[in-house]
């Protein structure tokens, strides 16, 4: 009979939670990607502890992405059809403002990046279809267009000067949303 893995100690769970909390904060703001050593220092744990829980940047990026997807899931549950534009705007603002996480996500394998994108599209599909049912989206717009919208936003941000990125991102988000929504009831 195979033995089961040893139970995780409570201090190990607390350390992992602290590391993940700090990583979430550090990877969802600013421009620079912090090292795992810096995340460990800010979490108040040793580097070895951080590397035991997250052996590389890929592991920390995936863990933070899962945390952000849980936040998105909570937002989706609270969104009425007439608020889909707001929900999509929050997702795009998050994409624009989480530069360190986006940078790390670009370093994931193709399959991991695809999984991340599909999770976002999947979470947004239900609210998008409900908005579409009440006439809030332009004719012909569908869930497949969300990938294109996210890619277009990344392109706008990537080509903006660093000092203009925030302004460029907000302008691009407005243009993209105006292109998707009909302006009829249910589109705001």
Residue with tokens 């969802």: 28
Residue 3 has pLDDT above 70, yes or no: no
Considering the segment(s) 57-188 as one domain, its CATH architecture is Orthogonal Bundle (1.10)
Coil, helix or strand at residue 116: helix
Task: Please tell me the distance from the alpha carbon of residue 29 to that of residue 172, in angstroms, as a whole number.
Answer: 19
Q: What is the mean pLDDT of residues 75-93?
A: 91
- The pLDDT, as a whole number, for residue 8 is 58
Phi, psi of 135 (to 5 degrees): 85, 20
The domain ranges of the chain are 7-55, 57-188
pLDDT at 11: 85
Assigned CATH for 7-55: 1.10.10
pLDDT band for 188, please (50, 70, 90 cuts): low
Cβ atoms of residues 137 and 181 within 8 Å: yes
User: What tokens does 76 get?
Assistant: 């989706």
pTM here is: 0.85
């Amino acid at each position: 009979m195979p033995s089961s893995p040893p139970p995780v100690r409570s201090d190990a769970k607390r350390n992992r939670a602290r590391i993940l909390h700090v990583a979430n904060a550090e990877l969802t703001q600013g421009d620079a990607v912090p090292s795992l050593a810096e995340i460990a220092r800010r979490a108040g744990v040793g580097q070895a502890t951080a590397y035991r829980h997250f052996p590389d940047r890929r592991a920390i990026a995936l863990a933070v992405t899962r945390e952000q997807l849980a936040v998105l899931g909570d937002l989706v549950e609270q969104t009425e059809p007439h608020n889909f534009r707001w929900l999509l705007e929050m997702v795009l603002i998050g994409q624009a403002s989480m530069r360190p996480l986006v940078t790390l996500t670009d370093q994931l394998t193709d399959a991991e990046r695809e999984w991340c994108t599909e999770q976002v599209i999947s979470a947004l599909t239900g609210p998008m279809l409900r908005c579409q049912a009440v006439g809030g989206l332009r004719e012909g717009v569908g869930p497949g267009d969300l990938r294109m919208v996210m890619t277009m936003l990344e392109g706008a941000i990537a080509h903006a000067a660093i000092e203009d990125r925030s302004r460029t991102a907000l302008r691009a988000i407005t243009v993209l949303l105006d292109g998707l929504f009909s302006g009829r009831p249910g589109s705001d």
